[in-house]
Amino acid sequence: MGGDAVRFRGVLFDLGQTLLEYPGNTHEFWRGFLAERLTDMQPLFRDISAEVGDDADAFVERAMDVMWPERKVNMSGRSWRFRERLEALMESYGHGRCDDSECERLTEEFYRPIGEGTRPYPETLEVLTTLRARGIRMAIISNAPWDVPGRLLRADMRKWEIEKFFDAFVMSGDVAWRKPNPEFMLAAARELEVGPEECLVVGDSLKADIAGARAAGMRSVWINREGLPLPAGGPRPDWSGEGLRKVVRIVVGDDRDDREPVPGAP
């Protein structure tokens, strides 16, 4: 089955809450998760620097402020790699730069419950298999939690046997950007050797995925699993769907999808 009779030659997929379900999807959840992980890991930080001390509450309060400053990083369009966040925290205790073994240990332990909590959506493997059979080139474009290294997210993908479908990986822990920076999408298109106008962005975040796609001159599908209305004045996707199967119909140019409205749109 060839790829010459399709509407898009490249599909750029968000990972979390689009292809794989991750443990949470709100700022409130992730803020609580960060506080919990820092509490659990406080002894590890204390082993590296005695200046951390025994007051876990004081450590967590400082670490939250340093590693996630008022959430400014999230939608800034710029990444702040997890190692740099760790080093900023340890420098606040006078430790200086973490060595490789220290950073590796802290990063692996921090991410462990995130990776353990992933699972694919029921249609993920089917959709990726179908698109690959059509000759579609595919990329992952992911804002990693706290910009952890992309290798951790790729390990999640290998666990669920989906890494093999992708020709490019752009992840915020490995590059200088975060979505909605259009460079995120454009970098993936360059790796796929596909023009922006030939790319379809698929993701669950209007602010990150859909806004980023529009800024990059690409069309987009909003994966709206909860059937939420489209917020007034927000980024507008070209299509929406409650699951991934609709992506296949859009890519092959099924005109019925063109007439399906975005929920809540005028």
Quickly list DSSP for 19-56: TEE-S--SHHHHHHHHHHHHHHHHHHHHHH-GGG-S-H
Nearest to 200 by CA among 238, 153, 148, 163: 238
Q: How much of the chain, in percent, has pLDDT values that exceed 90? A: 84
Looking at residue 199, its pLDDT comes to 98
Looking at residue 98, its pLDDT comes to 80
Its pTM stands at 0.92
Looking at residue 266, its pLDDT comes to 41
Looking at residue 3, its pLDDT comes to 42
Looking at residue 55, its pLDDT comes to 97
Looking at residue 260, its pLDDT comes to 46
Q: Please report, for residues 80, 103, 114, the alpha-carbon distance to residue 100 in angstroms, rounded to integers and kept in the order given.
A: 17, 5, 22
All residues at 6 or more sequence positions from 2 whose CB lies less than 8 Å from its CB, including other chains: 134, 135
Which amino acid makes up residue 209? D
What number of CA atoms fall less than 13 Å from residue 223's CA on the CB side?
A: 27
Residue linked to tokens 């802290």: 106
Nearest to 175 by CA among 154, 148, 211: 148
Residue linked to tokens 């606040």: 92
All residues at 6 or more sequence positions from 152 whose CB lies less than 8 Å from its CB, including other chains: 107, 111, 114, 115, 144, 173
Looking at residue 257, its pLDDT comes to 47
As a whole number of Å, the CA-based R_g of the chain is: 20
Residue linked to tokens 């590059």: 175
- Domain chopping of the chain, boundaries: 10-22+119-258, 27-116
Q: In this structure, what token pair is assigned to residue 217?
A: 């001159």
CATH architecture assigned to 10-22+119-258 = 3-Layer(aba) Sandwich (3.40)
pLDDT in tens, the chain (266 residues): 444 578 999 999 999 999 999 998 888 899 999 999 999 999 999 999 999 999 999 999 999 999 988 677 777 899 999 999 999 999 999 997 788 999 999 999 999 999 999 999 999 999 999 999 999 999 999 999 999 999 999 999 999 999 999 999 999 999 999 999 999 999 999 999 999 999 999 999 999 999 999 999 999 999 999 999 999 999 999 999 999 999 999 999 874 544 444 555 54
d(CA 199, CA 188): 10
Q: How much of the chain, in percent, has pLDDT values that exceed 70? A: 93
